[in-house]
Amino acid sequence: MGHVDHGKTTLLDQLRKTQVAAMEAGGITQHIGAFSVHLSSGNRITFLDTPGHAAFSAIRERGANVTNIVILVVAADDGVMKQTVESIKHAKNANVPIILAINKCDKPEADPERVKRELLSHDIVCEEFGGDIQSINISALKGENLQALSEAIVTLAEVMELKADPAGLVEGTVIECRTDKGKGPVTTAIVQRGTLRKGAVLVAGRAWGKVRLMFDENNTMLSEVGPSMPVEIVGWKDLPSAGDEILEVESEQRAREVVDWRTDVEEEERIQKDLEVISAKQHEHREAHRKTLDTFYGMNWKQKNSALYKTSRHLIPQRTSERITDDNPTVPLIVKGDVDGSVEAILNVIDTYNAEEECELNLVHFGIGDISESDIVLAETFNGSVYGFNVNANKTVQQLAAKKNIPIKLHKIIYHLVEDLKEELNSKLTPIT
């Protein structure tokens, strides 16, 4: 991680190049979001090639901790910058230790000591200042001192005693996803536990798959992938998301059950959240509206009601004998008007409706302007009607309403609108016997 232009991409390219050279593969390295470097000591380091906070945060937000160590890249000629500080914050929040790579040390104006001093004020204390942060001066461009950087990583990993169990069901994390023309949905993943083999059934987020093929970053086919190895997995039925946790399950049947269950729960949560937002917004609007009116007229709501809107009739429902009934009669409604004044007038009439009445009147939403598709969608959610005063509903809106069976009631006289609403309320009351 580090500030833009401080050399992250160059460093990763250089590390990757050394690797290709070391393997004498000479082939084309493809970008799969993660790659491994084999050291002469026999150790192997996996670099997550996802520079940029967004990817890191997205993975972190889902609770996955794929990163064991953060390499903080700071250019020696530029020093600590805004994103350097942000990177430090991210690493600290994630509780991941940092190794400092002071880059561009080949430049004549490079001043690594200044970088270390600047970092002190961000709680990054290098070993020479008595702290525990290892600091390596490198030149990513020239490939200088990368060996020392790798050794620093291995040393820290040993101190941290990073270990994983290669036995048991596989656990891992999705790093990147893409749809390949030939292979279909493909993910780059890091195995964190267990050993992944062909034929394994995996679940990630709301997707599942059966491992058909596995590749490394050099497009070499793999038959087994152990902990901390990056792998490209082919065989997904759908595309999971970056940061999703991968779990191996015992059968395809089980995988389907897990995905179905997750889909249902997510849908339920989404609907619940939407409804909460809608009702909070209505409350806010209504409160704001009342406040404006109160200050404007300087009198209380009911007084104003009778003083200013004598023309509008009060809503007094009447029982008749031939109406259909309902156990919990409610009239949910949305009111749209051409100007503030007309909407206010209608709301005032609605306000006179006695909440004790047998049929509840639920003003779901009100606003100014023509009736929109979102009004219809909202009405559908509440099974209500849309009342418009001096406004229109275009063809698309009308068609949507017809399709969803939502009545749109357009009026040009408030009195008529009120009569119409009364009619709707009356229709829900228990008939007189």
Q: Which residues bind ligand GDP (CB under 6 A)?
A: 2, 4-10, 51, 103-104, 106-107, 139-141
Amino acid of residue 225: V
Closest distance between ligand GDP and the C-beta of residue 12, in Å?
Answer: 8
Element (DSSP H or E) covering residue 280: helix 252-297
Q: What would the two tokens of residue 15 be?
A: 């590390």
Cα dihedral angle (385, 387, 391, 392), rounded to 10 degrees? 30
51 or 227: CB nearest ligand GDP:
51
Element (DSSP H or E) covering residue 197: strand 196-197
103 or 187: CB nearest ligand GDP:
103
Choose among 125, 157, 138: nearest CA to 47.
157
Per DSSP, the chain holds a count of helices (H) and strands (E) of: 11, 17
Closest distance between ligand GDP and the C-beta of residue 137, in Å?
Answer: 10
Closest distance between ligand GDP and the C-beta of residue 139, in Å?
Answer: 4
Closest distance between ligand GDP and the C-beta of residue 27, in Å?
Answer: 23
Angstrom distance (rounded) from CA 335 to CA 206 = 39
Closest distance between ligand GDP and the C-beta of residue 147, in Å?
Answer: 15
10 or 385: CB nearest ligand GDP:
10
150 or 312: CB nearest ligand GDP:
150
Q: What is the C-alpha radius of gyration for the chain, rounded to an integer number of angstroms? A: 32
> Which residues lie closer than 8 Å to 246 by C-beta, 6 or more apart?
170, 171, 172, 173, 174, 189, 202, 203, 204, 240
Q: What would the two tokens of residue 268 be?
A: 């339920």
Closest distance between ligand GDP and the C-beta of residue 105, in Å?
Answer: 7
Closest distance between ligand GDP and the C-beta of residue 49, in Å?
Answer: 11
Angstrom distance (rounded) from CA 123 to CA 118 = 10
140 or 425: CB nearest ligand GDP:
140
Q: How many Cβ atoms sit within 10 Å of the Cβ of residue 169?
A: 12
100 or 335: CB nearest ligand GDP:
100
67 or 139: CB nearest ligand GDP:
139
State how far the alpha carbon of 407 is from the alpha carbons of 220, 282, 353, in Å. Answer: 62, 21, 21
Closest distance between ligand GDP and the C-beta of residue 117, in Å?
Answer: 20
14 or 372: CB nearest ligand GDP:
14
Contact by Cβ (8 Å): 103, 74? yes
Element (DSSP H or E) covering residue 116: helix 112-120
> Which residues lie closer than 8 Å to 320 by C-beta, 6 or more apart?
426, 429, 431, 432
Closest distance between ligand GDP and the C-beta of residue 47, in Å?
Answer: 13
75 or 204: CB nearest ligand GDP:
75
- By residue count, the chain amounts to 433
